[in-house]
Each structure stands twice: as structure tokens, then as C-alpha cells.
Amino acid sequence: MTSASPSPSDAQHPVLPETILAALRAEDREVLVDICRQAHPGDIEAAFEQLGEEERETFLHALPIGVLTELTDYLPAAAIERRVRSLSQDERREVLESMSDDELVDLLQEVSDEERPELIELLPEDMREISADLLQFDEHTAGGRMTTAIAKIRASMTIREALAQLKEQQEETEILSRIYVVDNEGRLLGKIRLRDLAFNPRSANVEEFMDGDQIAIQAIADQEEAAQMIARYDMLALPVVDSEFHLLGVITHDDALDILEEEHTEDIERASGIAGDRGDFAYLQTPVTTHLRRRFFWVLGLAFMSLFSGFVMHRYESVFTAHFILALYLPMVVAAGGNTGAQAATMVIRSMSLGELAPRSFWRVIWKEMRIGLMLGGLLGICIALQIQFFLPKGLFGIDSNASLLHLAGVVALALTVQVTSSTFLGAALPLGAKAFRLDPAVVASPAITSFVDVTGMFIYFTLARWLLAF
């Protein structure tokens, strides 16, 4: 029995992936088109991300070009690029011309260097020039994420001239709430509100009413820095300039949200030892082989690092054999170091990502974390020493005297203190050191630190045991 197609009225609500899937399975193109026309493109985007690769292809091929052009600025550039490949030249041109300049550049970056000129040739002259300008910037820089669809007027204009120019620019402008003022060479001087142009004498000059605030970012700056500036200064859009302060474009607040989501996801994955590009697919739609490829080499490297723990245990085999009760507290000492090291790294990386710390803060951070680590380790050591002295049964694993209990308590307490202190030091120092050498601090986070302090924890524990137990 054929499943019933969803009613077009359903599309007035947030679109569920199941709604689109039902229309695809019923091969009801009319309902699918109605869904796309009635729903907000943002809802279509959210539903699209939940579809599998084959379902995405079917969905895009089912849409008429007129409907597809309404979604090009919302759907992933890679998906649009794959659909464009199967279109005729006229259809390609229609799709490309429907895209905003920043989304168009994202699509052009998806194609090979050999295919790119062919697509650029389909564009009108003005879009060709804009694309060429934007393609010179890396996709992860402010220049690579900006749009050039901005309202721009000269300071020397009268308000009447400025309004006339804005009227001409209205079809090409993405944001009219922010009108940027430049000099005759195109250098950014400030901004002016539309209301200031509307309610002041037409004969007055623009520069009389403009706001000379010139917060801007260099085109070659990292995209994350741009997103942080938008959040810090509560901006709707951030001007992007070149080295001579010529206004090139803006990064809008919605693009900043996308950037922060991408960077946050990337930081979490790197901190968890997951490498490579996650692509545009949601977790459940990402192939198992992709997950495997992104995780395997990190896990393999950390597994080999863990072999050093075995070497340490082998070296101190005599201590371990003579005092087998040491095995009871070994996991705790090692885990305490891993946990506190990961905590320190997380706090430092978070502070760095928020712009609260710089590499020059190295010694202040280290001093702070060393004190925290020493106090944490000392308190943990005291708690465990009391547990050993008063609650550990005599005779367990050969413990037969208060003196032996006292020695064991001293070993474990001191090992905990040293391990936690050294781990917090490493957890703070490694991300700061990575940043100083222009590496990603997240790469040295949780799994790497945990594996490293596992080895150091065993070394500290058994070394102290040999000394304090007179071995």
C-alpha cells in the first residue's frame, strides 16, 4: 500500500525530514514543491541536513530550477555544486546568478581548478569580477566569508545624492540597516543610519551626520576572530578592509553564527581526537567509514603512546611484586592526573577561544594552575592518606603493621600531590605552547594529555614507592 503524501499545509510548520521523505517515496513532486515554496528556507535547510546522501540527491533533482534558486543561499554549497553538474548551461547560469556572492564563492571553491573557469564564464561581468576578488582569499579568512553586497556611499555626497545612489543599489544590497561611508578612494570612514539620511536636509553633506566609528577587520584575518568581534561589539555586520583600509565587504551576523558553530564543532572534535573534515552531513547520515577514518589514526597513535605505561610497569616490576597493594591505588593516581590535566586544558582553551588569554600570559596562567594543582593534589592526598590509615584493613595484601600503613599512605598521598600538580601544569602549558607556535591548542587537549599523564603518573607513583618503601 502506497503511503499517503503529506499535505502542503503541513509545510507551514517547521519541516520534518520525514515530511520530505514521505513526498520523495511517494514520488509526489507537486507536494514536494509546495512544501519548499510554503516553508521557510531555514526549515528546509534543517530538514535537508537530516537526509542521507542518496535522499539529498533525489530531493535536489526533484526540484524545478525556479524552486532550487530560492534555496541556493541556504543549502550546502557542495550539494548545490553536485546538482549544478547535471544541469544545462542555461540552467547553470540561472542557478549561479541566484546565489549571493559569498555563497557563490563557496560553490566555486568546491569545484576543481579545471572546472572553475567554465562556471565563472557563465556569470555576468560584475559577478565575475566579484568572484575573482573573493576567490583570492582563503575560505577560512574574513575575506573568504564576506559578502560584497553592501550599501556604500561617499562622505562628500549630499544626502540627496546618497539616497539616489542607495536607490540604485537596493537590488544588490544585502543589508540596508548599515550604510558605510567611504572617501573618494574607497577607504572606510564610518557608517550612517538610513534614518539620518531620511530625516535630515537633502542639501547637507553625509559626513556631517556619519558615525566615525571604524571597527573593522583585515581581510586576511581568521574567520573566528571576525565572529568574536561581531559578538564582542554586538554588531549586525563587520566591515572587512584591506591593508590600506579600503572597504571590501562585510561579514553579517548570520555568517558569524555559522562560523562560531563550525569552529566550536572543530574544537570539540580535535579535543576529542577526531581528525578530518566532517562534511555537511548530520551524525546519523555520516557513513560509518567516514567516522572510522576520522577516528582511527588518533586512536592508533594514543594506543602506541599507552605502550610506554607497560614499559614503566615492567621497569618497576620488583616494586610492584613486593608490594602488590600498590595496584589498588594505581588507577586512582593515574586517573586523577588525567582528569585534572583535562580540566586545566579545557579551562585554558576556553579562555583562549574567548580572547581572555594570549601567549604572553603564559607564566601567569602556569603560576595560577600550579597553585590550583598543588591544593587539589594536597587535599586529595590527605583524604586518601586518612582512608588508608584508618579504614584499610590490616593484613590486606601483606600489610601487617601501622608502620607499613603509614608508608603506603605517604606514597599514595605524595604521588597524588605530585601527579595532580604536574598534570595541571601540562594541561595549562601545552595549549599555550601550541598557540605560541601557531598550532591549534585543541589538538593537544583531552586524549593526548590524558595518555601522556598516564605514563607520567605511573613513573611518579613507582619512583616514590621505591624511595619511600626502601626498595
Cα distance from N-terminal residue to C-terminal residue, the chain: 79
- Of 338, 362, 415, 343, the C-alpha closest to 384 is 415
What tens digit of pLDDT does each residue of 243-298 get? Answer: 999 999 999 998 999 888 887 777 776 666 565 555 555 666 677 887 787 778 77
Question: Does pLDDT of 6 surpass 60?
Answer: no
Q: Tell which CATH architecture fits domain 8-144.
A: Alpha Horseshoe (1.25)
Q: What is the pLDDT of residue 394?
A: 65
Q: Which of 200-209, 352-361, 436-445 has the highest mean pLDDT?
A: 200-209
For residue 1, the model assigns a pLDDT of: 39
Q: Rounded to an integer, what distance in angstroms lies between the CA atom of residue 181 and that of residue 150?
A: 11
250 Cβ partners below 8 Å, 6+ apart? Answer: 146, 147, 150, 175, 178, 180, 237, 238, 239, 240
Mean pLDDT throughout 47-75? 87
Which residue blocks in 146-183 are alpha helix, DSSP H? 159-169
Q: Please state, rounded to an integer, the average pLDDT across all residues of the chain.
A: 84
Output the pTM of the full model: 0.68
What percent of the chain clears pLDDT 70, i.e. is strictly above it? 89
Say which CATH topology domain 146-252 has. CBS-domain (3.10.580)
User: What pLDDT does residue 20 have?
Assistant: 83
Please check whether residue 271 is in contact with residue 445, taking contact to mean a CB–CB distance below 8 angstroms.
Answer: yes
pLDDT of 371: 94
Please give the residue that has the higher pLDDT: either 417 or 355. 417
Q: Per residue in 8-50, pLDDT tens? A: 444 345 566 788 888 888 888 888 888 888 888 888 888 888 8
Average pLDDT over residues 202-224: 93
Angle at 81 between CA 76 and CA 83, to 5 degrees: 100
Looking at residue 5, its pLDDT comes to 44
Structural domain spans, the chain: 8-144, 146-252, 287-468
* Architecture of the domain whose range is 287-468: Orthogonal Bundle (1.10)
The pLDDT, as a whole number, for residue 271 is 62
pLDDT higher for 331 or 436?
331
Q: Does position 397 have pLDDT exceeding 60, yes or no?
A: no
Helices and strands (H and E) in the chain: how many: 21, 6
